[in-house]
Amino acid sequence: MRNTKINIDRLNLRLKGIPAREAQGLFRNLGSGLLRQLVQRQEFQGNGAVKISAMDAGVLRTGGKAGGPDLQRDIAARVGDTIVAHLNKNENNSK
């Protein structure tokens, strides 16, 4: 994944049970956690540039978690799952 660049124009993820201001702060710090999630995945061995115009990661119920590293990890995992699913879907459609 060393040479992969992922550009996502629009990402939708709805967080249930957390104030909007706190959610915005969690998303500002998403980059490094998301990178760790993608690097750990065997199915993501991308190379080159990937452009995703819009992606919907659904709803993540926070279960009362108020920010912090656990919630950031959950968000990164959900977004990582969604990226991999999106790329796999597009790869299968191009075959």
Q: Dump the DSSP string for 28-91.
A: HTHHHHHHHHHHT-TT----EEEEES-EEEEEEE-TT--SHHHHHHHHHHHHHHHHHHHHHHHH
How many domains, the chain? 1
pTM: 0.78
Q: What is the distance between the alpha carbons of residues 43 and 52, in angstroms, rounded to a whole number? A: 18
Range of the domain at 82: 4-93
Helix (H, G, I), strand (E, B), or coil: what is residue 25? helix
Residue 10: what pLDDT? Answer: 92
Cα dihedral 60→61→64→67 (10° resolution): 0
Residue 54: what pLDDT? Answer: 92
Q: What is the mean pLDDT of each run of 10 residues along the chain (95 residues)?
A: 76 86 82 83 67 90 73 89 83 65
